[in-house]
Amino acid sequence: IAYMMILKYKHNSIQDPLELAQLLFPAVSGFLHSFPLNSEELDCLYYSVLGRLCQSGVLGLHTYKETNNEYVLNMHCLTAWKVMEIMLKASKEEIEKIWLSE
């Protein structure tokens, strides 16, 4: 989900977290249809996505410092941080309402 958010942001420059979450609804819905999560797992989904974005940002910066690879800096570091900042503009409940709607 985190990488799909990065790609959607890269292609559309979406600044609205709810719009970005809505673009991912089909993927989240499809995943949950194939791999149902229990209530505890669903409760962690939002934080897991934010955690993965953070991890991508940190590891991307580390890799960039080691390799000077501009692609890593732009795709995995700067974009991950930007998407995380956008997502934090909405509450967990607002995002979940979109992702978990029927």
What does the DSSP 8-state code read for residue 24? Answer: T
Of residues 25, 23, 75, 16, the one with CA closest to residue 45 = 25
pLDDT reported for residue 41: 96
Tens digit of each residue's pLDDT (9 = 90 or more) over 32-79: 999 999 999 999 999 999 999 999 999 989 999 999 988 888 877 889
Does residue 7 surpass a pLDDT of 90? no
Q: What is the pTM of this model?
A: 0.87
Confidence of residue 101 (pLDDT cuts 50, 70, 90): confident
Residue 19, class by beta-carbon neighbours within 10 Å (0-12 exposed, 13-18 middle, 19+ buried)?
Answer: middle
Residue 25 CB neighbours (<10 A): 13
Tens digit of each residue's pLDDT (9 = 90 or more) over 18-36: 999 999 999 999 999 999 9
Contacts of 91 (CB under 8 A, 6+ apart): none
- H-type alpha helices, the chain: 2-12, 17-23, 25-34, 39-67, 70-71, 79-87, 92-99
